Amino acid sequence: MQEFLQQVVSGIASGGIFASLALALVLIYNAMGLVNFAQGEMAMFATFVAYALIENGMSYWIALPLALVLAFAGGVLIQRVVIRPVERAPVLTLVIVTLGLATLINGLAGFVFGYIPRSFPSPFSVQTVSVLGALISFRDLGVIAVSALVLVLIYLLLQRTTLGLAMRAAAHNPDASRLLGVRVSWMLALGWGLASAVGALSGIMVAPILLLEPNMMQTIIIYAFAAAVLGGIESPLGAVVGGLIVGITVNLAGAYLVGGDLQLAVAFLIIVAVLVIKPNGLFGRPSVRRV
Amino acid sequence: MLARVRRAPPRYWLVLVAAVLLIGLPTVVTSFQSSQWNLVLIFTIAIMGLNVLVGYSGQISLGHGAFMALGAYTTAILIARYHVNYLVTIPIAGLVTGAIGFLLGIPALRLSALYLALATFALAVVTPSLIKRPEQLTGGVQGIGLVPQEPPQFAAAAFSTVTGGTQMTSEQWLYYLSLAIAVLLFWVAWNMIRHRPGRAMRAVRDGEVAAAAFGINVAGYKTLAFGMSAFYAGVAGSLYGLATTYVSPDTFPVALSFQLLVGAVLGGLASTVGPLLGGMFVYWLPIVSSQTISDQSWIPEQISSVFVKAGPAVTYGALLILIMIFAPNGVVGLITSGYGALRKRLRGAGERGTGQMPPDPQTG
């Protein structure tokens, strides 16, 4: 029972990481109806930037916000330079462009930082504390706290500020928003920046657990896909709930059912099962197509 | 007769030249080079399948590397564990892969193209770890080794007659085998695209709702296209296993799926010769670039080794983005539009404005 509880808590911790990346996917999906296949690689690159900052003697708590700001700027830049020229193209074109972006960023990271896995510092110690007899590491608790904080901040930004309202309006009905004076294209760029920063956070949190190298996010992005699909790909709340469910399921399945090497297959199974049973996910609305 | 030959459109001449080159190639190059061109043909087959899916039915698969793995393992397992004749395993590999693609396609294809992309991407990432599990069957991390296939009597005899007594090697035989299969599969795809299923697929691609209103079975044709392209990838994988005589989980990384997509996009989606150009490009780029870089002795060892590893990824990524922004019809699109513009210039303004819409597979 104690071990079970331990697995659940570390599942929640990884769930928080998946939820952050899934939230990044959902933000971009809502803005332009696109799954950003480069999200994981963008997060990986931002993590490398944070690593470089820390390596050069910067304290963790200065490097972290700075890396997030840089990730935000990077996201805006990518939207302006790469995505904007194909904004109106069919979704197939957009998907291919984001894939190209993923490959490009992956190669660039290998180019600049090399392929040797590096250990990434964590501000939380791996010491454990006993809760109800289960040993829970401070790192897991820290990850849970940081994810929760970010998710709440995103929620407040989108639901309680004028900027968030403008962003949602631009995504929901670009033409009407334009008539009302919202700068739609810039709102999309902000959406990309925000998604990039949230994704970067997931990378920075997962890097101490895995090792930092260019292909680090390749598996994490699959869990995030599973989380986003499970939650309903357009629902931010769904991404969080989906992330937690995927995190706990995968952790428990890895510990008790299939073994660690097939955890990824569990995520794949979740994706396929959701597509078969409930394609709109837990919180998604059924899609309506206008003729 | 002569007049007809003279008036034949240039593409017929191109086909003739290409045929002579492709058939004659192994008789002039070394056995090793034949094996390299064999891999080009294998990539071409996989990209042909991908081209049907992406170019004509407007769906996208990021898992064709995984389908190639399935095909290769089917062949390897049948040969190594059950001693089946290798020629028989090729269609079996195609059918197994096609069936699995069909099954995966059923849930994903009822939804938008994004879901198929997502599901196949996950498949590509998961496949290597799935392959490692049933160790009895797949050999786990070790993979399965195969023996090279000897050329049959008639081919060896014909080859030595043409080349004046040179022995045909296994590599040269496999090249011809892949060439024959590539031509056959090209013929199948070409026929399908020009007839009813092809028209239906394009209708689905360009306007799903309108296509459905005309009574086209939208999900049916999408699944057909996906199953068919998985079949092509399976055959390509099977030939790949035969060509390299060794399959392991690391032979089929996620990058392979990207590579195939780059080939399809670069050659030109919905074009007929695009896959061959794409296959040549994605096969030769990493090899040529790494050779050129290592030959430059002034570049320090560390830098060149990083470049060899990261260079192709950077190039592929940049190319995908640039092509999609500036030339969505790929190299073939660039050549045909360039040729059209040149001909108009040469013939004067008389033929301008025939009222024909330019073919554009990207606008939907």
Q: Which of A103, A233, A279 sits opposite B313 (nearest CB)?
A: A103
CATH number, domain with residue B78: 1.10.3470
**Shortest CA distance from A286: residue in chain B:** B111
Helix locations, chain B, DSSP H: 2-7, 10-28, 31-51, 64-82, 86-109, 113-132, 135-138, 153-163, 170-194, 196-206, 208-213, 218-244, 254-267, 274-295, 301-326, 330-347
The average pLDDT across B137-152 equals: 82
Contact B325 A97 (CB under 8 A): yes
Q: Which of A95, A103, A226 sits opposite B258 (nearest CB)?
A: A103
Tokens of B176: 């011809």
Q: Which of A34, A104, A218 sits opposite B317 (nearest CB)?
A: A104
Nearest to A23 by CA among A227, A164, A185, A282: A227
Highest-confidence range of A127-136, A183-192, B2-11, by mean pLDDT?
A183-192
CB B224, CB B197: distance < 8 Å? yes
- Per residue in B210-235, pLDDT tens? 888 888 888 888 888 899 999 999 99
- How close A127 comes to chain B (CA, Å)? 31
| A204 vs A278 pLDDT, higher one | A204
User: Rounded CA gap, B334 and B348, in Å?
Assistant: 21
Q: Is B71 on the interface with A (CB under 8 A)?
A: no
Residue with tokens 């939650």: A231
Mean pLDDT, all residues of chain A: 86
DSSP letter (8 states) at residue B357: P
> Between A and B, how many CB-CB pairs are < 8 A?
151
The average pLDDT across A160-188 equals: 86
Share of chain A above pLDDT 90, in %: 27
| B204 vs B10 pLDDT, higher one | B204
**Shortest CA distance from A99: residue in chain B:** B317
pLDDT at A267 over 70: yes
**Shortest CA distance from B210: residue in chain A:** A291
ipTM for the predicted complex = 0.86
Most B CBs within 10 A among A45, A82, A95, A266, hence the mutation to make, goes to A95
Sequence-separated (6 or more) residues with CB below 8 Å from residue B298: none
A-contacting residues in B 243-302 (Cβ below 8 Å): 254-255, 258, 261-262, 265
- Per residue in A71-130, pLDDT tens? 999 999 999 998 888 887 777 888 889 988 998 999 899 888 888 888 888 877 777 777
Contact A279 B320 (CB under 8 A): no
- How close B123 comes to chain A (CA, Å)? 7
Q: Tell me which amino acid residue B160 is.
A: S
Tokens of B215: 């009574």
Q: How far apart are the first and last CA of chain A?
A: 55
CA A113 to each of CA A117, A139, A214, B307: distance values in angstroms, whole numbers, following the listed order: 10, 26, 8, 12
The average pLDDT across A31-37 equals: 86
Residue A289: the pLDDT is: 57
The average pLDDT across B323-334 equals: 80
Q: Is B119 on the interface with A (CB under 8 A)?
A: yes
Contact A268 B117 (CB under 8 A): no
Share of chain A above pLDDT 70, in %: 97
CB A220, CB A21: distance < 8 Å? yes
Most B CBs within 10 A among A39, A79, A99, hence the mutation to make, goes to A99
Structural domains in chain B (count)? 1
- Per residue in B329-342, pLDDT tens? 777 778 888 888 88
Sequence ranges of the domains in chain A: 2-277
Contact B258 A267 (CB under 8 A): no
Q: Is B54 on the interface with A (CB under 8 A)?
A: yes
Q: In this structure, is the dihedral angle defined by the CA atoms of residues A85, A91, A97 and A102, taken in order, positive or negative?
A: positive
Residue B337 lies in a domain: yes
User: Rounded CA gap, A11 and A250, in Å?
Assistant: 7
Residue B83 is part of which domain span? Answer: 2-348
Q: Out of A141-155, B6-20, B114-128, B272-286, pick the least confident.
A: B6-20
Tokens of A291: 């003729």
Contact A37 B117 (CB under 8 A): yes
User: Rounded CA gap, A64 and B21, in Å?
Assistant: 58
Band the pLDDT of A287: cuts 50, 70, 90: low
Residue B360: the pLDDT is: 55
pLDDT at B291 over 80: no
| Exposed / middle / buried, residue B248 (Cβ in 10 Å: 0-12, 13-18, 19+) | buried
Residue A129's beta-bridge partner residues?
Answer: A136
Nearest to B66 by CA among B115, B129, B111: B129
Q: Is B125 on the interface with A (CB under 8 A)?
A: yes
| B293 vs B63 pLDDT, higher one | B63
Nearest to B72 by CA among B36, B44, B46: B46
CB A109, CB A132: distance < 8 Å? no
Residue with tokens 């009813």: B196
Residue B361 lies in a domain: no
Sequence-separated (6 or more) residues with CB below 8 Å from residue A116: A213
Residue B73: the pLDDT is: 93
Contact B110 A279 (CB under 8 A): yes
- Per residue in A208-240, pLDDT tens? 888 888 888 988 999 999 999 998 888 888 889
| Exposed / middle / buried, residue B305 (Cβ in 10 Å: 0-12, 13-18, 19+) | middle
User: Rounded CA gap, B122 and B99, in Å?
Assistant: 18
Q: Which CATH number fits domain A2-277: 1.10.10, 2.60.40, 1.10.240, 1.10.3470?
A: 1.10.3470
Nearest to B27 by CA among B188, B148, B176: B176
Contact A96 B324 (CB under 8 A): yes
pLDDT at B354 over 60: no
CB A34, CB A91: distance < 8 Å? yes
pLDDT at B127 over 50: yes
Most B CBs within 10 A among A25, A96, A223, hence the mutation to make, goes to A96
Q: Is B320 on the interface with A (CB under 8 A)?
A: yes
The average pLDDT across A145-153 equals: 87
CB A267, CB A223: distance < 8 Å? yes
Chain A residues lying within 8 Å of B129, measured CB to CB = 261-262, 264-265
Band the pLDDT of B128: cuts 50, 70, 90: confident
Q: Out of A49-63, A180-194, B2-16, B143-157, pick the least confident.
A: B2-16
pLDDT at B91 over 90: yes
The average pLDDT across A241-259 equals: 88
Band the pLDDT of B364: cuts 50, 70, 90: very low
Mean pLDDT, all residues of chain B: 83
User: Rounded CA gap, A58 and A45, in Å?
Assistant: 18
Q: Out of A23-37, A64-78, B59-73, B304-318, pick the least confident.
A: B304-318
Q: Is B234 on the interface with A (CB under 8 A)?
A: no
Nearest to B17 by CA among B363, B233, B276, B360: B276
Contact B316 A100 (CB under 8 A): yes
Q: Which of B110, B117, B309 sits opposite A35 (nearest CB)?
A: B117
Band the pLDDT of A288: cuts 50, 70, 90: low
DSSP letter (8 states) at residue B139: -
Residue B151 lies in a domain: yes
Residue B53 lies in a domain: yes
Residue A47: the pLDDT is: 94
Band the pLDDT of B239: cuts 50, 70, 90: very high
Q: Tell me which amino acid residue A69 is.
A: V
Dihedral class, residue B250 (left if φ above 0, else alpha if ψ from -120 to 50, else beta): alpha
The average pLDDT across B69-91 equals: 90
User: Rounded CA gap, B354 and A260, in Å?
Assistant: 64
Band the pLDDT of B361: cuts 50, 70, 90: low
- How close B342 comes to chain A (CA, Å)? 28
CA B65 to each of CA A12, A55, A183, B99, B247: distance values in angstroms, whole numbers, following the listed order: 33, 37, 42, 16, 13
Q: Which of B112, B118, B320 sits opposite A225 (nearest CB)?
A: B118
For residue A229, the tally of other CB atoms under 10 A from its CB is 35
